[in-house]
């Protein structure tokens, strides 16, 4: 692999409380996990792998020409599955890995490339992710929209479900919004895509859960708690939403049927 090369790993788990057998859900004639892999294959990745916990996912991927490898069924998180996949693939410690979630069939290939590039630009950061400006007061107040605040170097200071940064004495969504944007503090919506150095994937899997992580239910806070920097790529374009519910699935099916997927 060249110095700028990277690998995409897509963790896929068959069980899902809100959408049973989600990776195999049909989207325009192909399983969702295959649609995600196809988006990743349009990026500059040197290789794309699905890391699955069930033979049915492996079979579905292979039927569509997507590389897949079996991983344990008892992983507590996608990052644990990613760590096993990196070990199985024999990736060197300095290899760049991008974790694309298996329920993101609208993930833009260009965003995958940009998040991978963070590892080459921010040489002291073992981890990278992405964000985009929040466009509405409703999203800013929504605890399901995770916010991130950056430092002067473009690294994450904190992630939260709370509306941050908050102007003292102002109501979220008020006139302060434009002023904050002009000051370079526009509220940012975190996008759930991550790049890592492969060696740090193993380190992360061994770190003790952080109190902030458990309070906010945001796994990325574990890295910050233990002193590891996270570089953040800010894009002006919000990616298509992932699939969590049957309603999300129908929305994405409609979009694919119309031929509308992001560049």
Residue 254 within any structural domain of the chain: yes
Q: Two tokens at 88? A: 């199985």
Average pLDDT, the chain: 90
Residue 125 within any structural domain of the chain: yes
CATH number of 199's domain:
3.90.550.10
The residue to which tokens 């859900």 are assigned: 25
By residue range, what is the domain housing residue 68? 6-258
Question: How many CB atoms within 10 Å of residue 110?
Answer: 16
Cβ(94)–Cβ(197) under 8 Å? yes
242/112: higher pLDDT: 112
Following DSSP, what letter does each residue of 176-243 receive, concatenated?
HHHHHHHTT---EEEEEEEEEEHHHHHHHHHSPPPHHHHHHT-TTHHHHHTT--EEEEE-SSPPPP--
pLDDT of residue 90 exceeding 90: yes
Number of domains in the chain: 1
Question: Given this model, what pLDDT does residue 261 score?
Answer: 66
Give the C-alpha separation, 207 to 204, whole Å.
5
CA 59 to chain CA centroid, nearest Å: 24
The residue to which tokens 């890391």 are assigned: 51
Residue 263 within any structural domain of the chain: no
Question: Given this model, what pLDDT does residue 137 score?
Answer: 81
Residue 14 within any structural domain of the chain: yes
Residue 105 within any structural domain of the chain: yes
The residue to which tokens 């079996």 are assigned: 70
Q: Is the peptide bond before 165 cis (omega within 30 degrees of 0)?
A: yes
Chain segment 28-81, per-residue pLDDT in tens: 999 999 999 999 999 999 999 999 999 999 999 999 999 999 998 888 888 899
Residue 164 within any structural domain of the chain: yes
Question: How many CB atoms within 10 Å of residue 84?
Answer: 20
Residue 244 within any structural domain of the chain: yes
Chain segment 164-196, per-residue pLDDT in tens: 887 766 665 555 555 566 566 788 999 999 999
Cβ(67)–Cβ(61) under 8 Å? yes
Residue 229 within any structural domain of the chain: yes
* Size of the chain, expressed as the number of residues it contains: 263
Question: Given this model, what pLDDT does residue 125 score?
Answer: 97
Overall pTM surpassing 0.85 (yes/no): yes
C-alpha dihedral over 258, 247, 142, 144, to 10 degrees? -100
In angstroms and rounded to an integer, the radius of gyration of the C-alpha atoms of the chain is 18
Cβ(251)–Cβ(22) under 8 Å? no
């Amino acid at each position: 692999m060249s110095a700028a090369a990277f690998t995409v790993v897509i963790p896929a788990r068959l069980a899902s409380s809100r959408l049973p057998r989600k990776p195999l859900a049909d989207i325009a004639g192909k399983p969702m996990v295959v649609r995600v892999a196809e988006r990743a294959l349009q990026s500059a990745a040197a290789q794309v792998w699905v890391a699955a916990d069930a033979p049915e996912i492996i079979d579905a991927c292979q039927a569509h020409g997507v590389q897949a490898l079996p991983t344990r069924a008892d992983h507590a998180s996608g990052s644990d599955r990613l760590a096993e996949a990196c070990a199985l693939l024999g990736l060197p410690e300095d290899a760049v890995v991008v974790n694309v979630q298996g329920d993101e069939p609208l993930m833009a290939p260009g965003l995958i490339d940009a998040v991978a590039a963070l590892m080459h630009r921010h040489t002291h950061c073992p981890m990278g992710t992405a964000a985009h400006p929040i466009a509405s007061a409703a999203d800013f107040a929504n605890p399901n929209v995770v916010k991130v605040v950056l430092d002067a170097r473009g690294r994450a200071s904190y992630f939260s479900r709370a509306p941050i940064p908050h102007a003292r004495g102002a109501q979220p969504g008020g006139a302060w919004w434009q002023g904050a944007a002009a000051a370079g503090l526009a509220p940012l919506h975190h996008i759930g895509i991550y790049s890592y150095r492969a060696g740090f994937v193993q380190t992360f899997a061994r770190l003790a859960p952080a109190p902030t992580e458990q309070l906010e239910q945001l796994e990325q806070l574990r890295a910050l708690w233990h002193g590891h920097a996270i570089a953040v790529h800010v894009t002006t374009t919000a990616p298509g939403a992932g699939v969590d519910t049957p309603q999300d699935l129908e929305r994405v099916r409609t979009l694919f049927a119309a031929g509308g997927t992001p560049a």
